[in-house]
Amino acid sequence: MNYNAWFQCSEGCNDTYPLTEIIYRCKNCDGLLEVRHDIDALKSRRADDWKCLFEQRYMRTKYPYGSGVWGKKELVCPTIDDDNIISMYEGGTNLFWAERFGEQLGAPDLWIKQCGNSHTGSFKDLGMTVLVSMVKQIIAEGRDIRAVMCASTGDTSAALAAYASAAGIPAVILLPKEKVTREQLIQPIANGALTLSLETDFDGCMDVVQKLAARKDFYLANSINSLRIEGQKTISIEIVQQFDWDVPDWIIIPGGNLGNVSALGLGFLIMQELGIIDKLPRIACAQAERANPLYRSYQTGFTEFHAITAQSTQATAIQIGNPVSVHRAIRTLRRFDGIVDQATEEELANAAARADRTGLFNCPHTGVALAVLIKMIARKQILPDDRVIVISTANGLKFPNFKVGYHNVAPGEPLPRYLNKPLELEADYEGVLKQIDAHLNA
Ligand SMILES: *Cc1c(COP(=O)(O)O)cnc(C)c1O
Ligand SMILES: [Zn+2]
């Protein structure tokens, strides 16, 4: 069967462009492009046969189909030759049953999708494998791309640098100076990318990179490029597959530039079109209160949207005031009867720390989603029977200062609720035992 996909305007124009064209916006109306699939061709395979095919490939060894992304290749990007695919076995991440945390909250069917357990430590790998593979294909077809580039809050750059260096393609990374963690910064450096620290915030980096990307010899890797969204949409397919093709009731996802929330939606919509599922979940997008332009828009029923200057937040990967994918995110939330909520710095830190006590190790963005989860349960928007998935977007190990800062309070600061300070003791049996007893009897 010949499956096909192409770029098409997301604002309704009929113009289409091949996926190998270097283009990010509609020539007609400047709207973002999205990847469209030949749905009739996909429908020629029955839903049960799709499920069967995906099950056969899932986490097996046949390259690249063991990857959670490329195991769904026909629904993601059927036009790339397997020879051009750069895969690092993306996806296949654990769906952590948060039994203990969920019980504390009154949500026993609570699951955390651990997208940060991945090659570069965030869900960004899911989209980057598709984008960089397409660049390899374009180069193989004879076009000259001198470099791939992106603006980043730290995770996109890590993913781009890793995939580009695996492909042997030069990468250029634009980061806001001193606004990413040391762990995030060292990733593109180690992978040999040209790493530029700009005296601005993420939105400022995005402005510069979009101007650079007007040149046809540079290829833009931000999520304005819908190829990334196609890879990321496998999150939804994989979650449903992990539940033996059952659809959950709620999905809570942290949002910054807002590409991922639309990716999540697209995954469900294509499964619905192919008859793989017969209902949709509701989606909650979680924002940091200090970077909440979508939350503010939601307060107006999405009738208004205003970009803001994002304030500094511990959730640095979503410290974005002018999200490039805001329109597609709003479309998604409308379609999925969605909501938007926000978390303060204290709420996100406490939610992450509280859940850490039940076996997790959450990044601050996951903390934002967990804080919103707690609020939704409190106002009975989520009920005990609901199956809830929280998308954990990155590995907590990429954000050590977030945790060190929480558990190592400066003198005079108020003590956080879930503080756990190490004790410094003499190496003395009696003294050590006394402390253990005191702790266990407390
Ligand atoms: C990129 C990122 C997000 C936000 O995703 P968007 O698609 O920009 O909304 C959230 N958390 C982490 C850890 C990220 O790296
Ligand atoms: Zn258009």
For residue 34, give the ligand nearest its CA: 2
- Dihedral over alpha carbons 333, 339, 343, 349 (to 10 degrees): -80
Q: How far is the CA of 234 from the centre of ligand 2 (A)?
A: 26
Can you give the residue range of the structural domain that contains 352?
Answer: 95-120+229-403
Q: How far is the CA of 311 from the centre of ligand 1 (A)?
A: 16
What CATH number does residue 364 fall under? 3.40.50.1100
Determine, yes or no, domain membership for 69: no
Q: For residues 112 and 39, what is the distance between their CA atoms, to the nearest angstrom?
A: 31
Residue of the nearest CA to atom 11 in ligand 1? 393
Among 261, 322, 306, CA closest to 286 = 261
Task: Please spell the DSSP secondary structure of 89-121, one letter per residue.
Answer: ------EEE-HHHHHHHT-TTEEEEETTSSTTS
Residue of the nearest CA to atom 14 in ligand 1? 317
The vertex-233 CA angle with 356 and 316, nearest 5°, equals 45
Q: Which atom of ligand 1 is nearest to the CA of 253?
A: 10
Q: How many domains does the chain have?
A: 1
Tens place of pLDDT per residue across the chain (442 aa) = 789 999 999 988 999 999 999 999 999 999 999 999 999 999 999 999 999 999 999 999 999 999 999 999 999 999 999 999 999 999 999 999 999 999 999 999 999 999 999 999 999 999 999 999 999 999 999 999 999 999 999 999 999 999 999 999 999 999 999 999 999 999 999 999 999 999 999 999 999 999 999 998 999 999 899 999 999 999 999 999 999 999 999 999 999 999 999 999 999 999 999 999 999 999 999 999 999 999 999 999 999 999 999 999 999 999 999 999 999 999 999 999 999 999 999 999 999 999 999 999 999 999 999 999 999 999 999 999 999 999 999 999 999 999 999 999 888 889 999 999 989 999 999 999 999 999 999 8
Among 204, 265, 207, 195, CA closest to 237 = 265
Q: What are phi and psi for residue 252, nearest 5 degrees?
A: -110, 130
Determine, yes or no, domain membership for 90: no
Task: Please spell the DSSP secondary structure of 324-389, one letter per residue.
Answer: TTHHHHHHHHHHTT-EEEEE-HHHHHHHHHHHHTTT--B-HHHHHHHHHHHHHHHTTSS-TT--EE
Contact assessment for residue 47 and residue 275, using Cβ atoms and an 8 Å cutoff: yes
What pLDDT shows up at residue 337?
98
Q: Which atom of ligand 1 is nearest to the CA of 394?
A: 13
Determine, yes or no, domain membership for 307: yes
Pocket of ligand 1, beta carbon within 6 A:
122, 124, 155, 223, 254-260, 317-318, 363, 365, 393-394
Classify 226 as helix, strand or coil: helix
Q: Which residues surround ligand 2, an ion (CB under 5 A)?
A: 9, 11, 13, 26, 28-29, 31
Contact assessment for residue 83 and residue 362, using Cβ atoms and an 8 Å cutoff: no
Determine, yes or no, domain membership for 130: no
pTM comes to 0.97
Residue of the nearest CA to atom 1 in ligand 1? 317
Q: What are phi and psi for residue 37, nearest 5 degrees?
A: -115, 155
Q: How far is the CA of 393 from the centre of ligand 1 (A)?
A: 6
| DSSP letter, residue 160 | H
Sheet strands side by side (includes 95-97): 95-97, 110-114, 388-392, 250-254, 282-288, 339-343
Pocket probe mutation, ligand 1, options 155, 181, 366, max atoms within 8 Å of Cβ: 155
Q: Which atom of ligand 1 is nearest to the CA of 259?
A: 7
Determine, yes or no, domain membership for 253: yes
Determine, yes or no, domain membership for 11: no
Q: How far is the CA of 418 from the centre of ligand 2 (A)?
A: 50
Residue that is written with structure tokens 């939610």 in the block: 351
Q: Which secondary structure element, helix H or strand E, spans residue 203, and what is its range?
A: helix 202-212
Pocket probe mutation, ligand 1, options 203, 224, 257, 366, max atoms within 8 Å of Cβ: 257
pLDDT tens by residue, 253-279 = 999 999 999 999 999 999 999 999 999
Q: How far is the CA of 76 from the centre of ligand 1 (A)?
A: 20
Q: How far is the CA of 267 from the centre of ligand 2 (A)?
A: 23
Q: For residues 91 and 93, what is the distance between their CA atoms, to the nearest angstrom?
A: 5
Joined tokens for residue 424: 């410094």
What pLDDT shows up at residue 338?
98
Q: How far is the CA of 38 from the centre of ligand 2 (A)?
A: 19
What pLDDT shows up at residue 383?
98
Residue of the nearest CA to atom 8 in ligand 1? 257
- Dihedral over alpha carbons 375, 379, 383, 388 (to 10 degrees): -20
Determine, yes or no, domain membership for 367: yes
Per-residue burial over 137-166, b if 16 or more Cβ lie within 10 Å, else e, is bbbeeeeebebbbbbbbbbbbbbbbbbbbb
Determine, yes or no, domain membership for 322: yes
Q: How far is the CA of 305 from the centre of ligand 2 (A)?
A: 20
Q: How far is the CA of 52 from the centre of ligand 2 (A)?
A: 37
Distances (CA, A) of 402 to 34, 218, 224, 442: 35, 35, 29, 27
